[in-house]
Amino acid sequence: MAITKETVTAKIEVVGQYKAVQIATDTVIKEDGTELSRSRHRKVLHPSSASKNTDTGEITVTQTDISGESSEIQSVCNAVWTDSVKSAWETKIRADLGG
């Protein structure tokens, strides 16, 4: 009786004006090749994130680190996050924070 666990990328979607990359991964548990269970995890990646210092009002923008993602996801992000998309996204998140 061999029990295995694998994580597979089930879906990668690019949505919206700012090219958010939505990722669905499935964790699959099998016994002797027969699937016993499957659970799904979702996450969304944006080109960057921002935070605002409440004391100074300074906004700090941090580019999203995709180095820990699979090569497939990195390729999608690099293809859709053009300089113009990154710039538009940064302008939007700065505006959202009142900057």
**pLDDT tens for residues 52-94?**
999 999 999 999 999 999 999 999 999 999 999 999 999 999 9
CA-CA distance, 12 to 44, in Å (whole number)?
10
Give the count of alpha carbons within 13 A of 96, CB side only.
11
Place of tokens 């580019």: 63
**pLDDT tens for residues 16-38?**
999 999 999 999 999 999 999 99
Asked if the model's pLDDT at residue 1 lies above 90, the reply is no
The β-bridge relationship of strands 34-45 and 48-52 is unpaired
